Amino acid sequence: MAYSSGFSPHPRISYANAAPTSAESHAEYLDIALAESIDASQLAARLNAALPAGFRIEQVIQADKPSLAELLQASEWTIDLGGVPDTRLKEALSRLMAAERVEVSRRTKKGTRVFDVRAAVLAARVEHGLIWVRLRHATPLVRPDDLVTALRTLDPGLGDDHPGLFARLGQGPLTADGTIGDPLQASTDATSTGQASTDATSTGRASTEATSTGRASTDATSTGRASTEATSTGRASTGATSTGRASTGATSTGRAST
């Protein structure tokens, strides 16, 4: 793994839109920088051999651009409020979708922030006691617990004091029809044009499975890319150096999460 330069070097790992604590997730991504070039399949195998039980690398690719922040434009979630009847969930959701604005507040490091939840909701429905929702990523990021707060503003006592169980089903770029695309495929398409980079990136997906106690286990996924002169396949050639190191091997950066 590549490390940053300076007096306190740290692993070059960059997380993008990680799931909230205790949430289940099947679509987590992060960038991991490597100190030398390595085949994507070998990287996945080595990481899986070292990861603890519950973590699993699903895919590794080589890539340069676009960044994860550009690719992760929306998420799809399910929300479980503990056996609330579908009819009541649908009524609350209908009120939310019919509203122009539904503001909620959340305490952050910079103090309490008030923001609109409705603008982030691209689509929503109720299925078998669960709320399914597609949320646009914006600033501040609207999380599934914010949606629950908004619903309880419109329907006080919804789900009583159940904290909500959240599962992220996917995240990625928004397509022309409003659905969510595969960010790794978007990365592959971008690099297949033969762009070169000395500090290549690699992308990854991770999935986590939370239990009803709020603890999460993880099925990590991660992906990797490294190149200085990318070919049409996106594979790396040698000659790159990692930041703060003298090396003749290519560097790579990977994406993964828990």
98-131 pLDDT, tens digit each:
999 999 999 888 889 999 999 999 999 999 999 9
Cβ pair 247, 35 in contact under 8 A: yes
Cβ pair 27, 168 in contact under 8 A: yes
What single letter denotes the amino acid at residue 101? R
Cβ pair 180, 74 in contact under 8 A: yes
> How many whole angstroms separate alpha carbon 57 and alpha carbon 206?
7
Encoded tokens for 163 = 């904290």
DSSP, collapsed to helix, strand or coil, labels residue 95 as: helix
Which residue spans within the chain are E strands per DSSP?
A: 13-16, 24-32, 61-63, 74-80, 103-108, 111-116, 121-127, 130-136, 165-172, 201-203, 206-210, 216-219, 222-225, 253-256
> How many whole angstroms separate alpha carbon 107 and alpha carbon 103?
14
> Parallel, antiparallel, or unpaired for β 24-32 and 165-172?
parallel
Q: How far is C-alpha 16 from the chain's CA centre?
A: 6
Cβ pair 29, 207 in contact under 8 A: no
Q: What pLDDT is recorded for position 59?
A: 86
DSSP, collapsed to helix, strand or coil, labels residue 106 as: strand
Q: What angle do CA 118, 122, 126 make, to 5 degrees?
A: 90
**Which pTM value belongs to this model?**
0.72
Low-confidence ranges of the chain (pLDDT < 50): 194-204, 207-253, 255-258
Phi and psi (nearest 5°) for 119? Answer: -65, -25
Q: What pLDDT is recorded for position 224?
A: 38
CA distances from 138 to 52, 103, 230 (A): 33, 15, 32
Q: What pLDDT is recorded for position 191?
A: 59
Q: What angle do CA 51, 17, 176 make, to 5 degrees?
A: 115
> How many whole angstroms separate alpha carbon 199 and alpha carbon 197?
5
Q: What pLDDT is recorded for position 108?
A: 84
Q: How far is C-alpha 117 from the chain's CA centre?
A: 19
CA distances from 142 to 32, 35, 138, 157 (A): 26, 36, 7, 21
